Amino acid sequence: KNQVEQSPQSLIILEGKNCTLQCNYTVSPFSNLRWYKQDTGRGPVSLTIMTFSENTKSNGRYTATLDADTKQSSLHITASQLSDSASYICVVSGRGGSQGNLIFGKGTKLSVKP
């Protein structure tokens, strides 16, 4: 069964600290993996996409990694800001599949405290 598991479920950190969110997936065949940020009461917004051949990609203070062999991805946030408080959702797309093959994780809820 195609699944996306994220950990931790929730995380509280102090402003300025770094954190890493994890995503493990069993989706096969694999096409790509996206990290979305969802502010409370808002729709998700794409942060970054990782394809099969990519290992690391940065978008400002966000760095995503992908290990396609172990089917794991991480999202590292550097020097966190209060505005980083949100849910971060890992979404895996199956290759050649339908739109229903976008498998969403449950998300990690990050709270950044002053």
Q: Which residues bind other proteins (CB under 8 A)?
A: 4, 9, 31-32, 34, 41-46, 49, 89, 91, 93, 98-100, 102, 104-107, 109
Dig out the tokens for 95 from the structure: 């290759």
Q: What is the DSSP string of 1-64?
A: ---EEEE-SEEEEETT--EEEEEEE--SSEEEEEEEEE-TTS--EEEEEEETT--EEEETTEEE
Shortest Å distance, C-beta 27 to other proteins? 11
**Minimum CB distance to other proteins, residue 67 (Å):** 19
Nearest to 5 by CA among 33, 26, 36, 34: 26
Residue 25 and residue 74 in contact, taking contact as beta carbons nearer than 8 Å? no
Instruction: State in angstroms the smallest separation of the CB of 69 from other proteins.
Output: 21
By beta-carbon proximity to other proteins, the closer residue of 18 and 111 is: 111
Q: Nearer to other proteins by C-beta: 21 or 91?
A: 91
Decide whether 32 or 78 has the Cβ nearer to other proteins. Answer: 32
